Structure 1
Amino acid sequence: MVARTRFNDSDCPVARSVDAIGDWWSLLIVRDAFDGCRRFGEFQRNLGVAKNILTARLRALVAGGVLESVPASDGSAYSEYVLTPKGKALFPVIVALRQWGEQNFFAPGEPHSQMVDSRQGHPLRPLEVRSADGRLLNPDDTTVHKVSTR
């Protein structure tokens, strides 16, 4: 088996982030955690993922500080998985992926799940990238200043 390339010491924040999340199963676990899943069985039922894969992904997310394993809230012998502050900081990433998917992978009028403001019940506004002075930015308005490797 080929060893996975690691990016945990890369000077690129995107590479380090992808290294920490790992793969699409991990993002779907984080999505489900935001939706209220806490127990292994809930994640397994929602995702339909093999138990060995789920076990490995949950361990990696706990080791990476995205999830924390805590005693079950009902006092049973089971553990539950909760988002840490680092995990909760993935919220805009999940919203961005959701909105990108809504724009690009559904036909007009095709039904799909929808995230709404729980207080008002309204769909969320599209995420926007803005400059420090409030201007709306697109990819042509930004550059990346790379770290010199000399």
Structure 2
Amino acid sequence: MALPRTYDSQNCSIARSLEVVGDRWTMLVIRSAFEGVRRFDDFQDALGVARNVLTDRLARLCEEGVLRRVPYQERPERYEYRLTRKGVELWPAMMTLLAWGDRHYAPDGPPMVIKHRGCGGTMTDRLACDSCGARLEPNEVEPVPGPGA
């Protein structure tokens, strides 16, 4: 049973946020968008998700302003999906969830490591580079296979 989308009896930003991003496929779509995936078929290939599920998640993320559709072809009309500022603001939460999963569910080590493009250092739990100390933003990093890959 899904949580209601109204919160007359509670004032909870976590519950409201989970209504937008609390679904497994939604989080994986957002992860893929951070990894540079933009087109429907590429999301489907990367995730192995059913077309109807992907269509629903992309539409919802666009409706909520997390992604925006950008045309890249006129005939036939085709779109890319790009993170909005609101979507990019999910990056710290995604990286915190990644670090938590690495600590608790990666017995062979992290399957993916986040590297600083500027110096090659590794991102820490505090979203900083372990080598140069820079506070890292999504456009300054790249995921690379880790020891648990």
Question: TM-score band, normalised by the shorter chain?
Answer: 0.7 to 0.9
1:102 corresponds to = 102
What runs of 5+ residues in structure 1 fail to find an aligned partner?
Answer: 129-150
Q: How many angstroms apart in 1 are the aligned matches of 2:11 and 2:110?
A: 41
User: Structure 1: which amino acid aligns with 2:87?
Assistant: G
Q: How far apart, in 1, do the equivalents of 2:100 and 2:22 lie?
A: 20
Asked which structure has the greater CA Rg, the reply is 1
1:77-88 alignment, distance < 5 Å:
77-88=77-88
User: Cα offset for 1:110?
Assistant: 3.8
| Separation in structure 2 between the aligned mates of residue 90 and residue 53 of structure 1, nearest angstrom | 21
Deviation at 1:125, TM superposition (A): 1.2
Identity %: 36
Provide TM-score, normalisation by structure 1. Answer: 0.75
Alignment of 1:68-147 (within 5 A): 68-72=68-72, 77-107=77-107, 109-110=108-109, 112-127=111-126
SS in 1 for 2:38: coil
Distance 1:57 1:103 in 2: 28
Q: CA separation in 1, counterparts of 2:80 and 2:122?
A: 29
CA contact (8 A) 1:8 1:15 kept: no
Give the 3-state SS of the residue equivalent to 1:18 in structure 2.
helix
Does 1:41 pair with 2:49? no
Q: Is the 8 A contact 2:67 2:84 kept in 1?
A: yes
- When residues 120 and 53 of structure 1 are mapped into structure 2, their CA distance, relative to the original with a 3 A threshold, is same
Displacement, 1:127? 2.5
CA contact (8 A) 1:8 1:20 kept: no
What TM-score comes out, normalization by structure 2 length? 0.76
Aligned length: 124
Q: Which has the higher strand share?
A: 2
User: Where does structure 2 lack aligned partners over 5 or more consecutive residues?
Assistant: 128-149
- The 2-side partners of 1:82 and 1:35 are apart by 11
Residue of structure 1 equivalent to 2:4: 6
CA-CA distance at 1:40 after TM superposition: 0.2
Equivalent residue, structure 2, for 1:132: none
After superposition, what is the alpha-carbon deviation per residue over 1:33-70, rounded to whole angstroms, capped at 9, x for unaligned?
00000000110000000000000000000001100011
Q: CA deviation at 1:8?
A: 4.9
